[in-house]
Amino acid sequence: MESRRPSNGSDALPWAHLRLPPFPQVALQVLKLVDDENLSLRRLSDLISADAAFANEVLIVANSMRYALRFPATSIMQAIAVLGLRTLQGLCVTVGVRAYLGKQMAEPALRNVWRHNLACALIAEQLGSLGTGDKNVAYTAGILHDVGRVALAVVRPKAYAVLLNEYRGPADGILDGERVLFGMDHCDTGRQLVEEWKLPEALAAPVTKHHQPRRSDGEWDTAELIKVSCRLADAVGFPAFTGCEPAPYDELLKELPDRERELFQVDAPTLAAEITKSIQVIERA
């Protein structure tokens, strides 16, 4: 099927005029600590707790059924002690992305963007737990991989929703429509945000290269994991836009390294059900 995109005219804005709102500061500061091997429980707790409203959101999600705490956490310190530093980092980023979209979540087309990010993160977390990488880093990279798309959704929600609703074709084909509408695509936007927000370099590749083909040399790092996780999210029913034409699930599994492919014994309907349950729990929190 030939891909189609609506014509949005030549009203693209230069980067300096996009007027992006600031990402929640606590979440941004937490993100900058991703590479900090000396991060302490107290430092992360104090950072999150400094913003009472944000800390409350984090606790609500931490106490949701997804994390299955035996006893509800009543403080950020307690939540970190139970879940771990890195899990709380990913949770903070989840809350931050949801807050960044804000009222745009009421628009179904833009809510799909959020759910695609979350689905990608959940899949990346599973795959990350099967190999030698860090599942929490994989989750964080997954929830952040489409931050450029989230930003575009915030800048021009109505126009972007039209593009998301009308485009039909492969996931990477929508980049052309974004360039017409914004002067850049969501990967370019993500690259700019990584630089402006001074995020760890390890997050740059997952944010900017997730629509590029898998490397032919067999390299398997966080960026390569996110490429497959993103497309798997599309394949099991969580694309960023409804007209996405995903690759077949079984074909995507062949792109996994031998170890991950052998251990990732979950069929598409089961994975879709697991993701749906997690999304419902987090969105109710």
Distance CA 70, CA 239 (A): 33
CATH topology of domain 101-284: Hypothetical protein af1432 (1.10.3210)
pTM given for the model: 0.90
Structure tokens at 23: 């990402």
Burial of 150 (0-12, 13-18, 19+ CB in 10 A): buried
Output the pLDDT for position 1: 33
Taking the CA atoms of 270, 57, 101 and 149 in sequence, report the sign of the dihedral they define: negative
pLDDT at 200: 86
Average pLDDT of span 149-170: 94
**Average pLDDT taken over every residue of the chain:** 89
Q: Determine the pLDDT at residue 12.
A: 55
- Mapping DSSP to helix (H, G, I), strand (E, B) and coil, where does residue 19 land? coil
CA dihedral 273→279→281→282, nearest 10 degrees, is 160
Report the SS3 class of residue 168: strand
Given pLDDT bands bounded at 50, 70 and 90, which one contains residue 22? Answer: confident
Query: Each residue of 60-102: pLDDT tens digit?
Result: 988 886 777 677 889 999 998 888 888 888 999 999 999 999 8
Residue 210, pLDDT > 60, answer yes
The per-residue pLDDT for 18 is 63
DSSP designation for 52:
H
Nearest residue to 277 (alpha-carbon basis) of 229, 238, 226: 238
What SS3 state is found at 18? Answer: coil
Domain chopping of the chain, boundaries? 101-284
pLDDT of 107 over the 50 cut: yes
139 pLDDT above the threshold of 80? yes
